[in-house]
Amino acid sequence: MPAEGGPGRVYLVGAGPGDPGLLTARALELIAAADVILYDRLVGPGALDGARPDAELVFVGKEGGGDAVPQKQTEELMLGHAQAGRTVLRLKGGDPFVFGRGGEEARVLREHGIPYEIVPGITAGLAAPAYAGIPVTDRDVASAVALVTGHRSEDGAGGGAPGLDWAALAAFPGTLVFYMGVRALPDIVRGLLDAGRDPSEPVAVVEAGTLPHQRTVTATLADIAQVVSEADVRPPSVTVVGGVAALSQELAWLSPRPLAGLTVAVTRARAQSSGLARSLAELGARVVQAPVIRVQAIPGPALDPSPYDLICVTSANGVQAFFERLAAAEPPRDARALAGARVAAVGESTAQELARHGIRPDVVPREALAEALVAALVDAYGERPARRALIARAAGGRDVLPDALRERGVEVDVLDVYETVAEAPTPAALAAAAEADYITFTSSSTVRNFLETIGGPSAISPRSRLVSIGPVTSASLREAGLEPHVEAERHDVEGLLAALLADATDKQSAP
């Protein structure tokens, strides 16, 4: 971390090829600690889930074929934040020193006296073929590998990057791996063939390597450009030229996944979205993270739970904030302070979060609804289930639970321990979310903020299917004039995931 009063420190970090499971332990540590994260388009979905809630996340990439943030502007942002004493994470897809312009950025930092650290990442030229069952070296097929940029020169002249020695590449006795070469593939093929590379040599193009929507297209060197064009292969892709490409069918290990080919938008807060996004990705979905809310604790005085014989926690989000209020006492309190009270959780996910803090709730209704919690309390403890109750909830929460308890003679105190505030995803993320096959909503606030951010219900594609976590969220959709296509029977993330999967399976099996 930066010295007091001195410049900040910049970390040039490789985020790997896209699968967040391939992030290094050091990368995860730095994501969690950074004040500012400057990230590229090729940084995989979910990579930023561990960022601090107050961290500044700045997109400095380029959407394929669209406008890019100029490199000079990226360097100015990096320098400006570091000179202000901040810890800056420059997060790049793959490895910063493999076609990542990391060397250029390190030189700029050195010229300005900014301390920096390089954290390597797994490069796509090795990882994408591996996920496609292609070993870039094989004792029987290829004993060497060359990594080559396939990006066109800025003036568009000549296939691939300027200065490539096509004769040397054609004669290279091993595997050639071209990065960023989809648009330049006809020129790459022509350069290799004209220099004498065997036209019958196997070639594989791996699109979206390591991501859920990865696919592999194979052909001979002579035919690959036409096959890739007909298959509409898009960036990011890597091209593998050599005998090892023929091993893709023999060694392929990724099994077909039920949500393959579908795009699912996740609108819940980034800090809470990682589990849902990860599960969707494991099922093969292309996940669009478009968080339209952020959860933040409401500061307040230390909490003394001793006057209460019943404590109700109405969401998993409120658990951490509740325990922060306990810990604010002097000396700090923990789970032992709740020994004299019954504890009720509004649903299974809230119960699981309480368990992580050492509390196994006495009452957990089958449905994650305030109405269900009231019924469960009455079933367990009678018409007057407590003398005095504390309800820890979100600011602006429904009054169903406190009103029902008061009607039964319970003295109730409501404690707002957290709030949800609007957050604006990048325009690219919002546009992708509005066109997704499925859009998931986990609370009324995600409904309201998503619709407000995209400009209303009409901005949602007519083919998008809306997935609601439960009746309250569904009611918010209907208030906006939208009918949910899917509603979870179990009103938590696992239930939402199961409902979405069942719907997708039904649609795929329909004639």
Q: Is the pLDDT of residue 32 over 90?
A: yes
Per-residue pLDDT, 368: 84
Q: Look at residue 164 in the predicted model and tell me its pLDDT.
A: 86
Residue with tokens 């594609």: 461
Average pLDDT (151-171) is 65
pLDDT of amino acid 257: 87
Give 457's DSSP letter.
G
Asked whether residue 449 carries a pLDDT value surpassing 80, the answer given is yes
* pLDDT reported for residue 152: 55
Is it the case that residue 54 has pLDDT exceeding 90? Answer: no
Domains of the chain from N-terminus onward:
9-122 (3.40.1010.10), 126-251 (3.30.950.10), 263-292+423-509 (3.40.50.10090), 296-421 (3.40.50.10090)
Strand partners, 148: 178
Q: What is the 3-state secondary structure (H, E, C) of 25-92?
A: HHHHHHHHHCCEEEECCCCCCCCCCCCCCCCEEEECCECCCCCECCHHHHHHHHHHHHHCCCEEEEEE
> By three-state DSSP, how is residue 50 classified?
coil
Report CA Rg, the chain. 27
- The amino acid at residue 490 is R
Burial of 141 (0-12, 13-18, 19+ CB in 10 A): middle
- The set of catalytic residues is 40, 62
Burial class (CB in 10 A: 0-12, 13-18, 19+), 128: buried
Give the pLDDT confidence of 179-191 residue by residue, as tens digits.
Answer: 988 999 999 999 9
Residue pLDDT, tens place only, 262-313: 999 999 887 677 788 889 988 989 899 899 988 889 999 999 999 999 999 9
Q: Which two tokens stand for residue 147?
A: 């990594």
Average pLDDT of span 402-407: 96
Q: Tell me the pLDDT tens digit for each residue of 224-271.
A: 999 999 999 999 999 999 999 999 989 988 888 899 889 999 998 876
**Beta-sheet pairing, 388-394 with 310-313:** parallel
Give one DSSP letter per residue of 289-346, joined into a string: E---EEEEEPP-PPP--TT-SEEEE--THHHHHHHHHHHTSSSPP-GGGGTTSEEEES
pLDDT band at 82 (very low <50, low <70, confident <90, very high): very high
What's the whole-number average pLDDT of the chain? 91
* 424 — pLDDT class (breaks 50, 70, 90): confident
For residues 387 and 406, give the distance between their C-alpha atoms in angstroms, rounded to a whole number.
Answer: 10
Please determine, for residue 487, whether its predicted confidence score (pLDDT) is greater than 70: yes
pTM: 0.73
Q: How confident is the model at residue 511, as a pLDDT?
A: 61
In the predicted structure, residue 158 carries a pLDDT above the cut 50: no
